[in-house]
Amino acid sequence: MDGIDISYISTDGVNKIKIIKEKSYQYLLNEQIKIKKINIQQINKKKLIHAQDIKISNLVIKYLKKFFKEFRIAKKYVDYISLSGQTILHIPNKNISIQLGNPELISNFFKIQVISNFRINDIKNGGQGAPIGAFYHKHLIEKINKNAAIINLGGVANFALIHKKIFISSDIGPANAISDDLMMYYFKKKYDKDGKLASKGNINIKIFDLFKKDRFFKKKYPKSLDRNNFHYLMKELKKMQVHNALRTAINFTIFSIVKLLDNKICSEVDEIIFTGGGRKNKYLIAQIKKLDYQLKISLIDDYGLNGDLIESQMFGYIGIRSIKKLILSTPNTTGVKKNITGGILYN
């Protein structure tokens, strides 16, 4: 919920991708605050959801217009817009996953076909609906190091790896969501730069133990999370001294990564490649490097890719996979009953 990332790419959705232009646009603070105020109670209020959908669509249009103008991209050279949408609610056990951003409205505005709603077919077929873009991570792993695990540190942390020739992907726990929301609560700031404030704190063992007992960690992969899944702990975190609250939140992420690395599916892994906004948290990465796993720790940027824009590249890539009816979900990436494609094309 920090902004809109846009990548202008050429791809076959398989093994070719050329990044032409790309940029991240950070939401204005008031834009971000409004998005975070969209709450669960609104899911049954269709008028409210429709109004919010229009607002998010207008934000997408605003930043796409800016992107086209800034890089002098003529719309006639754009075959498709592949739209992720802004996730506001994800409850996989109730078959609910809501992304705002109206593909028809955006398609009508730009007179460009929009491919979107990638999660619907997944959920219909017994899947979690997330992480839905894993096949782009698979492409990167095969290109960089087949024994690497990519860990994406967004609001939620998720991974992708190949174990015994089987591609596996799943959410693993919270990443930036709790820390970012604490920073907004305490300071009206978007994030703890470099983890500097967290580095001055101590872990609250009581809250950390409560976190570790969450039933999510007893579930098998693949599994998925809403960004607010662990926000039942926020009430207690907000009572704490800010540095301690942030340090405890960072340990939530470290614990989630340790749970993954201790799993047998990581027996062939010799490198972790971090992507997503959380990779910029120097304190977090330093703490992970201290773990005794004898693994190479890398950032996706070390391989000439912008870690802020992997997800927008991803949706361009899976958008074309969708157009070609190629696989987006498998039983080992989202828990669907069989390998399926997904996405809906809007003219």
* In a domain? residue 332: no
pLDDT of residue 231: 87
* In a domain? residue 335: no
* In a domain? residue 144: yes
Indicate if 118 and 143 belong to the same structural domain: no
Rounded distance, CA 53 to CA 51, Å? 5
3-state secondary structure of 290: coil
Residues in the chain, overall count = 347
Write out the DSSP string of 66-80: HHHHHTT--GGG--E
Residues of the chain with pLDDT > 90: what percent?
84
- Enumerate residues 6+ apart whose C-beta is below 8 A from 83: 60, 101, 103, 106, 114, 115, 116, 315
Mean pLDDT in residue range 27-46:
71
Summarised one tens digit per residue, pLDDT across range 143-199 is 999 999 999 999 999 999 999 999 999 999 999 999 999 999 999 999 999 999 999
- Enumerate residues 6+ apart whose C-beta is below 8 A from 234: 178, 181, 182
Indicate if 96 and 144 belong to the same structural domain: no
Indicate if 123 and 210 belong to the same structural domain: no
* In a domain? residue 334: no
Judge whether residue 1 has pLDDT over 90.
Answer: no
CB 343 within 8 A of CB 319: yes
Indicate if 182 and 282 belong to the same structural domain: yes
Mean pLDDT in residue range 100-118:
97
Write out the DSSP string of 277-325: GGGG-HHHHHHHHTSSS--EEEEGGGGT--TTSHHHHHHHHHHHHHHTT
How many alpha carbons lie under 13 Å from residue 152 in its C-beta half-sphere? 27
* In a domain? residue 236: yes
H/E element, 47: helix 46-70
CB 227 within 8 A of CB 177: yes
CB 209 within 8 A of CB 255: no
Tell me which residue of 332, 344, 318, 341 sits closest to 14, measured CA to CA: 318
CB 35 within 8 A of CB 27: yes
Tell whether omega for the bond before 131 is within 30 degrees of 0, i.e. cis.
yes
Mean pLDDT in residue range 320-339:
98
Q: What are 143's two structure tokens?
A: 């290109």
pLDDT of residue 121: 97
H/E element, 138: helix 134-144
* In a domain? residue 333: no
Indicate if 165 and 218 belong to the same structural domain: yes
pLDDT of residue 45: 64
Rounded CA Rg of the chain: 19
Rounded distance, CA 213 to CA 211, Å? 5
Indicate if 122 and 203 belong to the same structural domain: no
* Confidence band of 31 (pLDDT split at 50, 70, 90): confident
201 C-beta neighbours (distance < 10 Å), count: 19
Indicate if 82 and 174 belong to the same structural domain: no
Q: What CATH number is associated with residue 190? A: 3.30.420.40
* In a domain? residue 78: yes
* In a domain? residue 25: yes
At residue 228's C-alpha, the angle toward residues 225 and 233, to 5°, is 115
Indicate if 286 and 205 belong to the same structural domain: yes
Indicate if 220 and 157 belong to the same structural domain: yes
Summarised one tens digit per residue, pLDDT across range 201-250 is 999 999 999 999 999 999 999 999 999 899 899 999 999 999 999 999 99
Indicate if 197 and 269 belong to the same structural domain: yes
* Domains contained in the chain, number: 2
Indicate if 138 and 265 belong to the same structural domain: yes
Indicate if 186 and 298 belong to the same structural domain: yes
3-state secondary structure of 152: strand
Which burial class, exposed, middle or buried, applies to 186 when counting CB atoms under 10 A from its CB (0-12, 13-18, 19+)? Answer: middle
pTM of the model: 0.94
H/E element, 22: strand 17-26
Domain residue limits at 212: 134-303
